[in-house]
Structure 1
Amino acid sequence: MDFFTNINVQFYILAYIIGGIPFGLILAKTFTGTNIKEAGSKSIGATNVLRVLKEKDPKLARKLAIATVILDALKGVVVILLAKAIGLSYAAQWAIAVLSVLGHCFSPFLKFEGGKGVATGVGVLLLMLPIETLLALVAWAITAKTTKISSLASLSGLFVLIISSFIIHPEIPHIKSHAPILLIAAIVVYKHIPNIVRLIKREEKAAV
């Protein structure tokens, strides 16, 4: 029982559960009655929200996609800020960041399926590594603008974030390790494997 009364463990569980809330699915069902798990890429993320709903109502689709991005990004941020407010260690905050992304990608509410973790990852990393994440967002924006391929833009941003983190912070402050960043990257890349295969085959569709 001591395990579950540990404040760190409680926050880890909270991070995973909140991370698993499928906001894209909830918004799409609430406002359009559409189950995005059964359409498009079947992902719960903003890209699929936009892809599926724009056929019915482009204006509403954009609004719901933006709302999905914001809510998904805030999942981990809220828990980390709460953890920071009560004085949990930086190591605990990084663990919360990883578990928030893990919860989004393998949601306990969706039989451990979920989204690709990009928005949630951006949220937690913007809080923990703001400079590197801003550079990654610039890379994402440039790639999205030039290629119109969401997955390629996300993977490009992730690559820039990892490289810049090693350059700007050879040792991550307070924890002296890039392990949490690499774990988040591994989760996101794993969820993008089908996209990577299509990119290699030049079959990935423009979606941004």
Structure 2
Amino acid sequence: MDFLLNFNILFFIAAYLAGSIPFGLLLANTFAGVNIKEHGSKSIGATNVLRVVKETNPALAKKLSVATVILDALKGTIVLLIAIAMGASESTLWGIAVLAVLGHCYSIFLGLEGGKGVATGLGVFLVLIPIPTLIGAAVWIFCGKVLKVSSLSSLLGLTGVVIAALFMNNGLEVGSNAPMYIIAFIIYYKHIPNIVRLVKGEEKKVI
């Protein structure tokens, strides 16, 4: 029981459970009456919410998509801010960040299935490496406007965050870039099907 009362362990569990909340699924089901796990790419992320709900209610689709991005980002952000307020160490904060992204991508509430981790990754990066994240977010938005391909824009934005962090004194204070690389790897790994479709020229655009 002492193990479960450990300060760090409690935050790690909270981060994973918060990350596991499938907001996209809940919002689409509650407000549009559709199960996005059964339609489109079957992902619980904002892009699939937009694509699926847009078929029946375009105006609502945009609102739910934006809400999904915000809520998915806040999943890790809120736990991090509470941990910071309670004096958690830098290494603990990065552990929280990794577990929040893992929770989103491998949700305990969805049989270890989940989303791609982009919004949740953005949320935790914004707290821990804000300037590189803002640079990456600008890349993400610009590429999204120009390319109209959500997955490619997300990956380019993520790459922008990593590169910016490395140039700006590594962006980290834990003595290692490993946590950032782990989060980036998880997101890239979850995008492998998208990368394959991009190579084949089969990835759909978001119009």
Q: Same fold (TM over 0.5)?
A: yes
Instruction: Report the equivalent of 2:184.
Output: 185
Q: Is the 8 A contact 1:72 1:119 kept in 2?
A: yes
Correspondence list, 1:153-168, <5 A: 153-168=153-168
2:180 is matched by which residue type in structure 1?
I
Q: Is the 8 A contact 1:171 1:177 kept in 2?
A: no
Correspondence list, 1:106-117, <5 A: 106-117=106-117
Normalized against structure 2, the TM-score is what?
Answer: 0.98
Root-mean-square deviation (Å)? 0.9
Alpha carbons of 1:130 and 1:171: their partners in 2 closer, same or farther (altered >3 Å)?
A: closer
Q: Which runs of 4+ in 1 moved over 6 A?
A: none
C-alpha distance in 1, partners of 2:42/2:139? 26
C-alpha distance in 1, partners of 2:172/2:30? 41
Residues 1:169 and 2:169 are matched in the alignment: yes
Correspondence list, 1:62-73, <5 A: 62-73=62-73
Correspondence list, 1:75-154, <5 A: 75-154=75-154
Q: What do residues 39-88 of structure 1 show as CA deviations (whole Å, max 9, x unaligned)?
A: 00000000000000011111111111111111000000100011111111
C-alpha distance in 2, partners of 1:154/1:128? 19
Q: Is the 8 A contact 2:132 2:171 kept in 1?
A: no
Instruction: Report the equivalent of 2:9.
Output: 9
Q: Is the 8 A contact 1:27 1:64 kept in 2?
A: yes
Q: What do residues 147-186 of structure 1 show as CA deviations (whole Å, max 9, x unaligned)?
A: 100000001011111111111023622x121111100001
C-alpha distance in 1, partners of 2:180/2:107? 20
Paired residue secondary structure (1:109): helix
C-alpha distance in 2, partners of 1:142/1:90? 31
Instruction: Report the equivalent of 1:202.
Output: 201
2:191 is matched by which residue type in structure 1?
H
C-alpha distance in 2, partners of 1:178/1:104? 21
Of all paired residues, the percent bearing the same amino acid is 58
1:184 is matched by which residue type in structure 2?
I
Alpha carbons of 1:177 and 1:171: their partners in 2 closer, same or farther (altered >3 Å)?
A: farther
C-alpha distance in 2, partners of 1:107/1:171? 28
Paired residue secondary structure (1:87): coil
Q: Number of residues paired by the alignment? A: 207
C-alpha distance in 2, partners of 1:170/1:47? 31
Point out where structure 1 has 5 or more consecutive residues left out of the alignment: none
